[in-house]
């Protein structure tokens, strides 16, 4: 699978890992986890967007709930979007795997 998945093509994995390190630093500077930072980013996108995180462990549930009490400011949102302008490096699906909408 990794031979065909763009996320694993040379350079993309390293670029994504570098982005994660930047997000880890931003999260730490705000006193939250990267997961909470991600959920807070989704919550900051608008009142018509609701994240639905999944978990199997109570500790992760509590961590996810903590994101609701953390609010990103405009500068943090801009920084996240500068780190990952298109959500990640390398497409999740190859062009031939994308659905054809009618």
User: Model pTM?
Assistant: 0.79
Tens digits of residue pLDDT in 15-62:
989 999 999 999 999 999 999 999 999 999 888 988 888 889 999 999
Distances (CA, A) of 98 to 35, 91, 95: 27, 11, 6
Q: Kindly report the CA angle at 60 between 57 and 74, in degrees rounded to 5? A: 160
Domain limits, the chain: 6-85
In this predicted structure, what is the pLDDT of residue 7? 66
């Amino acid at each position: 699978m990794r031979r065909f998945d763009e996320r694993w093509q040379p350079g993309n994995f390293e670029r994504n890992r570098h982005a994660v390190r930047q997000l880890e630093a931003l999260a730490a500077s705000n006193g939250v986890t990267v997961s909470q930072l991600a959920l807070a980013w989704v919550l900051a996108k608008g009142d018509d967007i609701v994240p639905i995180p999944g978990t199997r462990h109570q500790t992760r549930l509590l961590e996810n709930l903590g994101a609701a009490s953390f609010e990103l400011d405009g500068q943090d949102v801009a920084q996240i979007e500068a780190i990952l302008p298109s959500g990640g490096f390398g497409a999740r699906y190859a062009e031939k795997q994308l659905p054809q909408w009618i």
